[in-house]
Structures are given as structure tokens and as C-alpha cells.
Amino acid sequence: MIGEESKDFKVQKDLFKEALTSDFSMSEIQQIWRQILDHFLSISPIEQISMGDHQFSLQESKIINGILKRLQNKEPFQHILGEVEFYGLTLKSDARALIPRPETEELVDWIVTETKTIPSNILDICSGSGCISLALSQAFQDAHVYGYELSRAAIDLSEENALALKLPVLFSRVDVLDIKQFTAALKKQTKLGPLDVVVSNPPYIPNQEKEAIEEVVHKHEPGMALFVPDEDPLLFYRSIAEGILPFLSTSGVLYFECHYLYLENTRNLLLELGFTNVEKRKDLQGKWRMLKAQK
């Protein structure tokens, strides 16, 4: 633990690094350190370059030490910061929804680069913080973008994000595993036109993997955003794909983020349901992570 008297820049930084080496890589620690100085102490990245002989005030040391304690208690840095960068947007981030992941940015990028005709209607299912729908609303400013989500808390967070970013995404509370409720929502939604793009990053981690998940994830992120029953890991994919099929436009496209171990099974499921041109893609970690399918 860093003592309150440790105010010399180098001493404080070295102790900070040392305290976190067992939980973070050196480059992550550097990045967290830089963001703490920028965000909490208002020391810009430019100013940080030439502050080797800086003496932290007692107040500044207290702030750094407080954050260090929270990190050691396995609180995600995004929650401490209260925000996260996602596909060029700054989103509010807290315990109400899953922290948006880099692989989900890759999914958004696939949609943005592959969509040649501006879509009229886009639906993000299991919308969480709103990261996917808000990024698509920013990319396709003439599209109507909707998000379906079961958690009231997550919807509140996504609406706060939409308001802060001035992006007109409409979020609704829909249980996509309740086929009656899901179909009723889709019927209402598509009165003005069918869906051109549907995307979902649903819960996909089998319960049996809980043990192997980092403490920082299972202690601070909502379980309902992550886990599915071991005996039916495709539960969400089946309900979503079956449910939306009648509501897709003739050239409508469905995108899924998947568990790399179940990508082939999900692909087969889509083919069995009558989807065509089912394409798969790896994430930057080299894991099969995404699917794209046409009606």
C-alpha cells in the first residue's frame, strides 16, 4: 500500500506499478496511470511528459491511493472512471450493464464497412449499455435505430448514454426469450417498415465457465449479461433468429457475436432456420467470434 507521505512523482508511480503487477500487464498499468492523472487530477497527457520532478499534493496522493484500493478490490477501471470508449463514442459505464468489449467494436465495424445501402431500420437485441445501437446510430444517421433489453437498469444506462450523445435510439424492455412478447414488440416496431439490419451480442457463456472467469468480471458485471444454461448455450441465438426472421426485409442481414466454441453450432442453427450466405469472422485475438447471415 502506498503511504500518504509518498508524494514524489517517481516514488508514487513506482509504488503504484508494483502494487498492480500481479493483476495487470505493464502497458495496462501505464495506461491506467495516464488516465488517472488526466481524468482525476486534470494533468493532460502533454503535461505528463515533463513532470518527472512533480511533487503530488497530499490531496492528489489520496486520490491515487483511493483508486489503487478500488483496483486491488477488483473493481473494473471503467467503473472507477465512469466511462468507456467504444467505436469513437464515450459511453457512461457502471454496474448496471456489461462493459462494452473490443470484440464488440469489431462486430460494429463489420456492420459499418459491409453496409453499402443506408439501412432504414436497425435493431440491436440485448442492447445493454447501448454501445452497439448508439455506434450504429452515429454511423447511419438517417436510420431508425432500436434496442431491446430485459434489464431495466441497463435500459436506464443506455437512455442516459443516448441523451448525452444526442443519438435518437429508442430502447424498449423486451424479454427475447418470451416469444409472445418478443413477436408483439417486433410487430409494433416494423409497422413502418421491415428490419434491414439486426444485431445481437446476447449472453453466451455457459454457467460451467463461471469458475474460470476473472473475479473483476463476475464480481462487478451483471450475471444476466453473461451466462446461459450449460445444457442450452444457443438459447438466445435460437429465440432471436427464429423471432426476427419474418420481420427482416428481403435483403435484411443478421449479425451475431458468439462464443468461439459454439460458433459452428450457431452457424448450423442459422442454416437450419433457412438463413443463407452465413459468413464467419475471427476477432483480433484470432478466435471465431462473429457471424453474418442473410434472409
Ligand X SMILES: C[S@@+](CC[C@H](N)C(=O)[O-])C[C@H]1O[C@@H](n2cnc3c(N)ncnc32)[C@H](O)[C@@H]1O
Residues that bind ligand X in the complex, under the rule CB under 6 A: 97-98, 100, 104, 126-129, 131-132, 148-151, 154, 175-177, 201-203, 224-225
**Residue 151 forms beta bridges with which residues?**
none
Q: Which is nearer to ligand X, 56 or 182 (CB)?
A: 182
Q: Output the smallest distance, CB 282 to ligand X, in A.
A: 18
Q: Output the smallest distance, CB 228 to ligand X, in A.
A: 9
Q: Which is nearer to ligand X, 43 or 177 (CB)?
A: 177
Q: Which is nearer to ligand X, 18 or 156 (CB)?
A: 156
Please compute, for residue 53, the number of CA atoms within 13 A of its CA located in the half-sphere on the CB side: 0
Cβ-count burial 205-232 (b if 16+ within 10 Å, e if not): bbeebeeeeeebbbebbbeebbbbeeee
Q: Output the smallest distance, CB 295 to ligand X, in A.
A: 22
Q: Which is nearer to ligand X, 115 or 129 (CB)?
A: 129
Q: Output the smallest distance, CB 44 to ligand X, in A.
A: 29
Whose CB is nearest to ligand X?
Answer: 128
Q: Output the smallest distance, CB 200 to ligand X, in A.
A: 7
Q: Which is nearer to ligand X, 140 or 148 (CB)?
A: 148
Q: Output the smallest distance, CB 25 to ligand X, in A.
A: 23
141 neighbors 150 (Cβ within 8 angstroms): no
Q: Which is nearer to ligand X, 71 or 169 (CB)?
A: 169
Q: Which is nearer to ligand X, 11 or 235 (CB)?
A: 235
Q: Output the smallest distance, CB 142 to ligand X, in A.
A: 22
